């Protein structure tokens, strides 16, 4: 079978790696960025406990890519305070959350496969040349019909470098924005490097907060990027296919955990589901909807917070459901989940 994988992010790279081994397939990857500019626009945080197994399937050892292993994540819940010296915070104990070299892992996953860089192929050409066209273009979703209901958070991010004595935080730091419309993050990359960024649905806080932080904590700016993250769950991102040859995978079909804006593990899981169901689109669709069912509950909770419709006393069940899910899956999320923290976060 001739397969085109369009978009070489986490999902596309995993597919290239896994499908390439099957000698019945002729797989070609396409990436719009040139090879030297190919990057992973993302804060690079993930959970080691899950990634170890996923990378093992690709013949790689996730430990080789870890840049920082988190112990605690400080979450500032003060919606009025502009700076990070607030008393209103929670400390979340981390158990597997790390920062890893995302682009190097992508490059190693696609090693030995055929990828054409600097190419945005036309849909008509793909349809003529291939039996299956995978849309793994993430937020762009260029080759699929528009989803039923779009919801995304605009984000900006800087890669920076601090002198050893000026590093603002030695571990993960977040500041939640009012009504859970987004958050600011500081994620250490080791050796004084960090990703500093923010996403805010209201578009009020992200630029201002990051600018203020950067002017308070002077550093060398290495790179600035901007890209939205889609948080509408798979159920709202149907159709997953164009009814002909194209099939979507990863963030293009909404596999991002809406509470955290976390998409690395879900996109890779989604790619893994596609590998197992490449010949049966309906089975793939059903499995994706089942796997990511809880994302709809979480998304509806976030929407109700942003729209100021959430009332903990009137409807505690939604929050309880999310708590139960994350508590059960602490190892998957790589952090200790406490009901007291969830309640505090839900009140901002």
Ligand X SMILES: Cc1cc2nc3c(=O)[nH]c(=O)nc-3n(C[C@H](O)[C@H](O)[C@H](O)COP(=O)(O)OP(=O)(O)OC[C@H]3O[C@@H](n4cnc5c(N)ncnc54)[C@H](O)[C@@H]3O)c2cc1C
Check residue 348 for interaction with ligand X (CB under 6 A). no
Element (H, E) at 342: helix 339-346
7 touches ligand X by CB under 6 A: yes
Select from 69, 86, 107, 142 the one that contacts ligand X (CB under 6 A). Answer: 142
Task: Write out 3-51 in H/E/C secondary structure.
Answer: EEEECCCHHHHHHHHHHHCCCCCEEEEEECCCCCCCCCCCCCEEEHHHH
The 198-237 site mask, x for binding ligand X (CB under 6 A), equals -----------------------------x-x--------
Contact between residue 234 and residue 293 where contact means Cβ atoms under 8 Å apart:
no
Residue 231: which of 164, 187, 292, 177 has the closest Cα? 292
Q: Is 182 in the site for ligand X (CB under 6 A)?
A: no
Q: Rule CB under 6 A: say whether 120 interacts with ligand X.
A: yes
Helices (H), 277-338: 281-291, 293-306, 317-328, 330-333
> Quick one: 281 or 332, whose CB is closer to ligand X?
332
Question: Are 222 and 159 in contact, with CB atoms under 8 Å apart?
Answer: yes
CA distance from start to end of the chain: 51
Q: Which is nearer to ligand X, 84 or 200 (CB)?
A: 200
Using CB under 6 A as the binding rule, whether residue 261 contacts ligand X is answered as: yes
User: Does the footprint of ligand X cover residue 45 (CB under 6 A)?
Assistant: yes
Strand order, beta sheet including 97-100: 45-47, 97-100, 66-69
Over the window 155 to 174, marking each residue x when it contacts ligand X by CB under 6 A and - when it does not, the resulting string is: x-x-----------------
Of the candidates 44, 193, 269, 301, which one interacts with ligand X according to CB under 6 A? 44
In the complex, the smallest distance separating the C-beta of residue 218 from ligand X, rounded to whole angstroms, is 22
Binding residues for ligand X (CB under 6 A): 6-12, 30-33, 41-46, 120, 136-140, 142, 155, 157, 197, 227, 229, 250-252, 256, 261-264, 267
């Amino acid at each position: 079978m001739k397969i085109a994988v369009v978009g070489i992010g986490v999902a596309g790279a995993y597919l290239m790696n896994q499908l390439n081994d099957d000698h019945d397939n002729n797989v070609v990857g396409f990436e719009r960025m040139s090879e030297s500019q190919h990057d992973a626009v993302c804060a690079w945080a993930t959970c080691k406990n899950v990634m170890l197994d996923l990378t093992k399937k690709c013949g790689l050892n996730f430990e080789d890519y870890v840049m920082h292993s988190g112990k605690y994540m400080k979450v500032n819940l003060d919606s009025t305070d502009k700076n990070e010296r607030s008393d209103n915070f929670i400390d979340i104990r981390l158990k597997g959350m790390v920062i890893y070299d995302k682009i190097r892992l992508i490059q190693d996953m696609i090693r030995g496969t055929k990828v054409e860089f600097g190419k945005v192929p036309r849909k008509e050409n793909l349809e003529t040349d291939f039996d299956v066209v995978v849309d793994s273009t993430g937020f762009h979703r260029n080759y699929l019909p528009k989803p039923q209901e779009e919801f995304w958070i605009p984000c900006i991010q800087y890669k920076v470098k601090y002198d050893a004595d000026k590093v603002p935080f030695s571990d993960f730091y977040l500041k939640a924005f009012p009504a859970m419309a987004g958050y600011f993050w500081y994620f250490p990359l080791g050796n004084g490097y960090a990703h500093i960024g923010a996403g805010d649905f209201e578009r009020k806080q992200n630029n201002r907060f990051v600018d203020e932080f950067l002017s308070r904590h002077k550093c060398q700016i290495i790179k600035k990027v901007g890209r939205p993250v889609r948080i509408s769950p798979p159920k709202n991102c149907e159709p997953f296919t164009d009814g002909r040859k194209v099939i979507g995978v990863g963030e293009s079909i909404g596999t991002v955990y809406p509470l955290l804006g976390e998409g690395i593990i879900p996109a890779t899981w989604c790619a893994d589901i596609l590998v197992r169901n490449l010949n049966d689109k309906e089975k793939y669709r059903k499995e994706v909807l089942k796997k990511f069912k809880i994302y709809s509950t979480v998304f509806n909770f976030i929407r109700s917070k942003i729209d100021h419709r959430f009332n903990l006393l009137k409807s505690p069940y939604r929050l309880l459901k999310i708590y139960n899910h994350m508590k059960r899956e602490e190892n998957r999320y790589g952090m200790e989940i406490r009901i007291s923290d969830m309640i505090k976060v839900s009140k901002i």
